[in-house]
Structure 1
């Protein structure tokens, strides 16, 4: 995997997410090894998608991007690993969640 491939995949993913979610999309953040630059050919592409929807609707909203994720995985021979979260929940738990703190520290905002 190359940095250029990651950038291309994320650009397409962000464009499609904006189409699917519109104003509900608050942020897309690349995190993990791809954000740190220490990825390998076997690394997945970790991405956090923050949405302005009720927390109980996150699962339904996640399903709306499954086809896009699968297509990118297939076409680019990558493994996209999206995590979806309600934006307010994310903001609330940053102080106590090591995961969210790592995303804040290492993450690269894509959208």
Structure 2
């Protein structure tokens, strides 16, 4: 469990990393899960998703960069950052139908626009 200052630092670095990787194709970064709901505890991870204006094949090319960044956050702060990336158009199409997407839409907190 982390104080607001540390959480904000991690989230800011995460948004910056997604911007670095995806540039203008980055549509938004959303915090969801227990930290978004405010019911986190010492066992909670930080769940974020980036919505990117690219297809899945293109997004898969940057998967290693995301994993490395998350690992570095874990080492530096001692907390697991669970980051995922979704095609923006796919998310928009299914956000009312698929449970995972609907959960992001329902409880998510947009970190950037």
Q: Same fold (TM over 0.5)?
A: yes
Consecutive unaligned residues of structure 2, counting only runs of 5 or more, are none
Structure 1 residue 22: Cα displacement? 0.6
How large is the Cα RMSD of the aligned pairs? 1.3
What's the TM-score, normalizing by structure 2? 0.90
Moved over 3 A (4+): none
Q: Distance in 2 between matches of 1:23 and 1:4?
A: 27
Determine if contact 2:66/2:83 at 8 Å carries over to the other structure. Answer: no
Q: Deviations over 1:61-90 (max 9, x none)?
A: 222222222111110111011111100000
Total equivalences in the alignment: 111
Q: Which residue of 2 aligns with 1:89?
A: 90
Q: Deviations over 1:1-52 (max 9, x none)?
A: 1233222111111112112211111111000001000001110111111111
Q: Distance in 2 between matches of 1:58 and 1:47?
A: 16
